[in-house]
Amino acid sequence: MNLNDYEIILASGSPRRKDFLESLKIPFTIKTHWVDESFPPELKGNEIAEFIVRQKNAPFVNVIQPKQIVITADTIVWCENRCLGKPKNKKIAKEMLKFLSGKSHEVITSVGFLTAKKFEIITENTKVFFKNLEDQEIDYYIENAMPLDKAGAYGIQEWIGKIGIIQIVGSYTNVVGLPLAQVKEKISLLVQEQ
């Protein structure tokens, strides 16, 4: 994939998304804008992540240049018809993890790709199964990790993921925050189309 003539812009402050793009050896810059991540209450599952990605994309629409690709992304956890975003505090983080305990849920990541010609979204769903988490396991994780910046109050790559997740069906990198194989393929297609 020859990206010498392209400027890839990652519109995300997520250190995990930054690390993933760096692992592809793709040169990119980071530009972020504050965006209201609230959404209409009637939206469900994929619709929520895609709505927020459109919101994150909006500041770039009128300034996109030829040979630029802006990547926006949003990850949510969807369980029993409830959307779990990032918890505002440790109390909410504990409530979220107790809610996810012993159940399966979906991790949904939508990724937007804006070029001077068009805007496209890909959405990836991964099913995650948690064992029954003990209160002391949840408390230990909340005190020793950083659950407040993660949808559903957990990182699969962290301690809680190693001891608590018994199965996943789908993309692992999607659960971390970016479906890497799908993103790489989409960038390649966009470059070929330009």
Spatial neighbors of 30 by CB under 8 A, at least 6 apart, are 9, 10, 11, 12, 13, 18
58-78 mean pLDDT = 95
Q: What pLDDT is recorded for position 6?
A: 86
Spatial neighbors of 188 by CB under 8 A, at least 6 apart, are 1
Name the residue type at position 37: E
What residues act catalytically? 74
Task: Summarize pLDDT for 131-163 with one digit per residue, the tens.
Answer: 999 999 999 999 999 899 899 999 999 999 999
Quickly state the pLDDT bin for 1 (edges 50, 70, 90).
low
Strand, coil or helix: 155? coil
Task: Summarize pLDDT for 79-129 with one digit per residue, the tens.
Answer: 999 999 899 999 999 999 999 999 999 999 999 999 999 999 999 999 999
Which pair of tokens denotes residue 77? 């956890």
Chain Cα centroid distance, residue 158:
16
The 3 state secondary structure assigned to 31-50 is: CCCCCCCCCCCCCCCHHHHH
pTM of the model: 0.93
Which pair of tokens denotes residue 129? 């199964």
Q: What pLDDT is recorded for position 3?
A: 72
Q: What is the mean pLDDT of the chain?
A: 94
Task: Summarize pLDDT for 69-84 with one digit per residue, the tens.
Answer: 999 999 999 999 999 9
Cα angle 173, 177, 181; round to 5 = 40
